[in-house]
Amino acid sequence: MGLMRDDRVVVVGAGVAGLAAALALAARGIAVTVVERAATPGGKMRQISLGGAPIDSGPTVFTMRWVFDELFANAGLTFSDHVRLQPLSILARHAWSENPGSTTRLDLFVDEERSADAIAAFAGPDEGRRYHAFCKDTRRIYDILEKPFLRSAQPSMFSLIAANGFQGLIDLPHIRPFSTMWNALGQYFHDPRLRQMFARYATYCGSSPFAAPATLMLVAHVEREGVWTIDGGMHALARTLATCAERLGATIRYGAEVSDILTASGRVSGVALTSGERIAADAVIVNADVSAVANGLFGTNVAHAAPAIAQRARSLSAMTWSMVAKTDGFPLSRHTVFFSRNYRAEFDDIDRDAVPHEPTVYVCAQDRGDDTLATDEERLLVLINAPPAGDRRAFDATEVEQCAQRTFGALARCGLQIQRQPERTQVTTPADFNRLFPATGGALYGRSSHGWTASFQRPGSRTKIPGMYLAGGSTHPGPGVPMAALAGRAAAASLLTDLGSTGASRKMAMLGGMSMR
């Protein structure tokens, strides 16, 4: 039975998940209105303009292209017709320096053999062979989890095992849920620098490698499957999703902030805006951090629809510098990581709500490809991990400058000189992220992935309130651009299933009424 075209859906938030849901629903003829309090789409996929230079200041790595190929195909579109991608051969460049003037570098490549050769030259042939074993095992983890976990609306450990019957029990040890990533990596790599390099993948989920399960090593496989740059930057993806959703009939309203999600007779009935306007709806998808819902930012009547995230369970925040600057002394690639000399100390500092005394620094050089030469000045995003304490304390100018001195000092120790200009630099602290994404403390990834049960504690798309759905990086399957898109797809699919069911019920009721007359 087809869906009734008069079903009305409101999507709260034009982040990637909300836009993916809107695109999927509009393609099915559903009347969709997206309300976004900001002036542009993207959510955390934000862009900052400095002197007319647009700088991606959120996610910077595009992987899992298949998610968007499928999303667009299901809407009758071809992804490559709308977004221009350039593949990278270098996944990331990595640098260490024990002392000034003694920097060592290692590139990881999409091509496994090139990476193995580079690792062998860097740390010895045994480590190169161990890298092959690591690749084999991370590929297996991903293959085991893709369908029953990543593509599932709400997985559990039981459903994960049951999905493949007896084979599920055999597969369980291979996904390494009960070992920390740090301990597991020590079984693959004997060189501490390699262990540190691959441990960084835990931070992609906003987590510490000393507490996150080894299952997250699958991120290494995801990157080997391909990393691309997007013409126009990552924010171009958000703009494209919004444009395509509108062409299919969705309405997107910017500068429209939701104050309450309305209910009637035990189910969602619409939303109220801070302007006083009310928009009626048969269903509402909330593309916001679940903490915002649980803390009553959309009304106390729906606060129980999402689980609260305790402060100790929050994911990492960040301190970032979006900037236009001249660089010298180190050959940046598109993605470059400069490692600290004591990785554990970084996360110990964060556990104490302190910005790391000696941070690992990520630099995204947005005018470069694999080895593109720099222009006179270039657009940079410089990022370090920070505690999600933005709702508990301020990060004043003195602390921010002390942090900058340590951050850019770490870069200088590795040979990279960046000529900072205050008028061409914008700093974002955990307190700023908390203002941008309220009730999070600045946590950028929802719940941390600490412990083997954490991945099953993220809520799925359906809630306890009929007609209300959740989507975004704080829901299943987790943070990151493709994961958020999967969450949006899951919310749309759940909603369509439920609308089809209620639509059939309404039609049966109408038929029953006609027969009685």
456 exposure class (CB count in 10 Å sphere: 0-12, 13-18, 19+): middle
Is the peptide bond prior to 477 cis by the omega test (within 30 degrees of 0)? yes
Q: Residue 173: is its pLDDT beyond 60?
A: no
Q: What is the pLDDT, as a whole number, of residue 456?
A: 80
The fraction of the chain above a pLDDT of 70, given in percent, is 91
Which has more confidence, 377 or 502?
Answer: 377
Contact partners, residue 361, CB within 8 Å, separation at least 6: 337, 338, 382, 383, 384, 407, 410, 411
Q: Residue 165: is its pLDDT beyond 70?
A: no
CA distances from 402 to 383, 395, 396, 407 (A): 15, 11, 10, 9
Is 254 in contact with 35 (CB distance < 8 Å)? no
Q: Is 303 helix (H, G, I), strand (E, B) or coil?
A: helix
Residue 4: DSSP 8-state: P
Q: What is the pLDDT, as a whole number, of residue 171?
A: 53
* Amino acid occupying residue 44: K
Q: What is the pLDDT, as a whole number, of residue 455?
A: 73
Q: Residue 153: is its pLDDT beyond 60?
A: yes
For 140, the token pair is 């297996």
Mean pLDDT computed over every residue of the chain: 91
User: Residue with structure tokens 């007609």?
Assistant: 467
pTM: 0.92
With residue 405 as reference, give the H or E element that holds it.
helix 397-413
Torsion of CA 488, 491, 494, 496, to 10 degrees: -70
Ordered DSSP codes for 83-146 = --EEE-SEEEEEEEESSTT-EEEEEEESSHHHHHHHHHHHH-HHHHHHHHHHHHHHHHHHHHHI
Confidence of residue 509 (pLDDT cuts 50, 70, 90): very low
With residue 481 as reference, give the H or E element that holds it.
helix 481-516
CATH code, 8-60+234-311+452-510: 3.50.50.60
| Residue 378 β-bridge partners | 325
Backbone angles phi, psi at 90, to 5 degrees: -95, 115
Q: What is the pLDDT, as a whole number, of residue 373?
A: 73
Distance from C-alpha of 373 to C-alpha of 415, rounded to nearest angstrom: 16
Distance from C-alpha of 505 to C-alpha of 332, rounded to nearest angstrom: 60
Distance from C-alpha of 385 to C-alpha of 365, rounded to nearest angstrom: 18
